[in-house]
Each structure stands twice: as structure tokens, then as C-alpha cells.
Amino acid sequence: MLRFFVLSLLLANGLFFAWSSELLKAYGWAPAPQGEPHRMAQQLHPERIRLLGAEDVRRLETQAAQAALPPPPAECLQAGLFDERQAEILRQALTPALPAGSWVLESGIEPERWIVYMGKYADTEAMNKKLAELRGLNIRFEPLMDPGLAPGLSLGAYASEAAARESLAEFTGRGVRTARVLRERAEVRGQWLRLPLADAALKQRLDSFRTELAGKPLRACR
């Protein structure tokens, strides 16, 4: 029994040696070639291989880091107000393009806007002189929404004439002499475009509707 085992082991070793040395290649028994020509033949598009520089590595690392970040959360956005004609143009454009329920047109009111106004001034030099006086009185000012009132200054915006006149009295007590109450904008009625859950993909799709949005920017919902 032991002799049979030893003979079997010697025979197996002999066969392995003959196979690994390609002595049995003529009979179809031989290991797969491992030389460089064979490996080159197995490569897919070796001409596309290139060495990366330090700048390429940093760029790829940045891209990988950005891809690993969670997407920004969806937010409620709105734009408007749109009059009836603008709203109809917007409705016809968005209905076939955006998912149902992702947007809505709803009625809204932009209340009138009253300001405590100083101006118009003869030129920018005169306005800058008045600005220096206001800074000396520690009184802040705001940009005007109506370009037709420039060059001029707004000391504050209010939802009613009464509130604006109350503030004017306070400014007068602090040394302001030439301000007056003015209605900067009348009440506006129309429709808001509201997107309750606008994610990054929806925002990107809205970029193609700038004409239909009539220049009205998307802002966070009130």
C-alpha cells in the first residue's frame, strides 16, 4: 500500500513537471502564457492610459468629495406676481414640462409700499452731501425700488401711509428736515408661481423658462 502511494506521488509530480515545462503542449496540455506580449494582447485600449499630474489628482479628489456630499434639501420657492397674461403663458409652458404637483399658480397680493423719501436731488453730488448729513445723525437709508425716484433716498419702507407718517415724525425729531411720505408702489394683484419642494434637479429645469418667468426671480417662500 505504501509503495502504491509513493509511486502515485512520483507520477503526479512527473506529470506536473511535464505540464509546467510545456512538454505536453503538443497534446494540448500547457499552462496559459504569462509573458508580456500575452498581457498586452489582453489590455483594452492601452493607448488611453496616461499619467496623472498633481493638478489632475486634486481635481479628481475634489470631484469625489463633492459626489460623496448629500444633495441639498428641497425648499419652497416662489416667483411673481404675474398678471393674467403672464400667468397663462407660464401655465402653458410648465404643464407639459414639469411633474404634476411640483408647482402651482395661486392668487396673491403685493401690498402697497410707502416710504419716507428724500429727493429728488439735482445730481449725485447733492445726494452724497445729504448722505453725509444722515450718517452724522446716525440714520440709516435704503435703496429705492422705483428707479424713477432716483437720485433720492429712502429712510424706510412701510405697509401703510399711517406707519410711514409715524416714522417721519420720529426722523423729524432727530433732525431730519426735508423728508416726506410717498407711496412708492400701489397694491398689485396677480398670481404667484409656487414650488413647494424644489430640489436641485427641478431648479435646473427651471433655468430654461427664464423668458416665461418674465425676469421675476425665484425666492424663498414667504
What domains lie within the chain, and their CATH numbers?
2-42 (no CATH), 75-110+188-220 (3.30.70.2030), 113-185 (no CATH)
CB of 165 closer than 8 Å to CB of 181 = yes
Measured distance CA(88)–CA(82) in Å, rounded:
9
Name the grid cell of 202.
Answer: 427641478
List, in order, residues 6 or more apart from 22 with CB less than 8 Å away: 30, 31
Among all chains, which residue has been given the C-alpha cell 503526479?
12
pTM of the model: 0.51
Q: What is the pLDDT of residue 91?
A: 95
Q: What angle do CA 103, 106, 111 make, to 5 degrees?
A: 130
Q: Tell me which of 41 and 118 has the higher pLDDT.
A: 118
What is the tens place of the pLDDT at every residue in 139-150?
998 888 888 998
Q: What is the pLDDT of residue 107?
A: 94
The DSSP line for 164-200 is HHHHHHHHHHTT--S-EEEEEE--EEEEEEEEEEE-H
Measured distance CA(115)–CA(149) in Å, rounded:
11
Taking the mean position of all CA atoms in its chain, how far away is CA 102? 18
What is the tens place of the pLDDT at every residue in 49-65?
677 778 877 887 777 76
- Which residue, 94, 95, 142, is CA-closest to 115? 142
What is the tens place of the pLDDT at every residue in 167-208?
999 999 999 999 999 999 899 899 999 999 988 888 888 889
Q: Answer whether residue 115 shows pLDDT above 70.
A: yes
